[in-house]
Amino acid sequence: MKRIFVLLYLLSLFVFASSAQEWIVPAENGAKLSPFAFTDSTRKAGSDLYNLNCKSCHGDPGKNNPVKLVPPPPDPASEKMQKNSDGAFFYKVAEGRGLMPSFKNTLSAADTWKIISYFRGFNDKYVQEVAKKPAPGVSLEQAIMMLTWENEKKQVKVEVTSLKEGTRQPVAGAELKLFAKRYFGNLQVGEARSTDSQGIALFNFPETLPGDSTGMVQILVKPTDENAFGEVNTMASMKIGIPTYRPPLNEQRALWNVNRKTPIWLLSTYIFSVLAVWALIVYVMLQLRLLFKSGEENNPE
């Protein structure tokens, strides 16, 4: 009986581990489609983006040569990965999980779709389905977002207009996200906001967010659903942060810095190791010399 219980326990652990590794994508995300058709141009752009952001872990698609991690990053060209829907691919690249980082604040939606376009180039059986265009009458390519600072309310004002019937009219109901540009990626500021009937959305800006040495902060605003509003984004610099001095990344001593800025502990360890090796060599040579002299004294000619 004990053996049976042990076997059942091990089997349950195996089943649990297998289910834990399964990456479940929400249905609404898995059904998401690219707003544009995949072409040779998008695949070429996706290849460049993949080499810059993904190749260091996933390796070359189709060659199964990922970096040695546990579990190993999957090959995007593999049959298992190609079973993902376009939306599932997009969700996994954007959200990340475990060792897989999130790229939603690093890559734009359009760039993510270009990477997926590159993935699909390794699947001869793939047939793309492109997302339907939103309601007629709005020229997405002509959409403009204007950013201004409301000093009294301490809010960032975003006004969205688009060309309709030859004139610029406000875009209502556009859900937007506001970001502050950081060293590595973008930091989302507050919750997403939707434009009102005048095409205006107001974002509260935190008073404690640091800026550069003069208080300037680079602000980026873009729609939450780029499928509906296209790849429209606007960036502006505003003097609304706390003045903060950020030393250059190579100012301090660091492992990846130049030789003259090698960390003291590393330099000391290196010098001590070299001296220890040479001391050991000298000690061995002295012992050999003493042994040789001792042999001569015990065996005189």
Q: Identify whether the C-beta of residue 176 lies closer than 8 Å to the C-beta of residue 194.
A: yes
pLDDT in tens, 228-243: 566 677 889 999 999 9
Whether residue 23 is predicted with pLDDT greater than 70 in this model: the reply is yes
155 or 22, which is more confident: 155
Q: Identify whether the C-beta of residue 84 lies closer than 8 Å to the C-beta of residue 92.
A: yes
* Mean pLDDT across the chain: 84
261 or 82, which is more confident: 82
Q: Can you give the pTM of this predicted structure?
A: 0.54
pLDDT in tens, 196-219: 989 899 999 998 899 998 999 999
Instruction: Specify the pLDDT at position 15.
Output: 46
Burial of 30 (0-12, 13-18, 19+ CB in 10 A): middle
* Superfamily classification of domain 21-120: Cytochrome c-like domain (1.10.760.10)
35 or 148, which is more confident: 148
DSSP state of 26: P
User: Phi and psi for 169 in degrees, rounded to 5?
Assistant: -130, 150
Domain positions in the chain: 21-120, 139-239, 259-298
Instruction: Specify the pLDDT at position 202.
Output: 94
Share of the chain above pLDDT 90, in %: 48
Instruction: Specify the pLDDT at position 20.
Output: 47
Write the CB contacts of 281 (distance below 8 Å, at least 6 apart in sequence). Answer: none
pLDDT in tens, 51-93: 999 999 999 999 999 998 888 999 999 999 999 999 999 999 9
108 or 244, which is more confident: 244
Determine if the peptide bond prior to 248 is cis (ω within 30°): no
The CA distance from 20 to 12, in Å, is: 12
The CA distance from 242 to 66, in Å, is: 43
Most confident by average pLDDT, 115-119, 187-191, 292-296: 115-119
The band of 8, judged by pLDDT with boundaries at 50, 70 and 90, is low
Whether residue 16 is predicted with pLDDT greater than 90 in this model: the reply is no
Least Cα distance to 252 among 244, 239, 242, 261 occurs for 261
What number does CATH give the domain 139-239?
A: 2.60.40
Whether residue 140 is predicted with pLDDT greater than 70 in this model: the reply is no
Instruction: Specify the pLDDT at position 245.
Output: 86
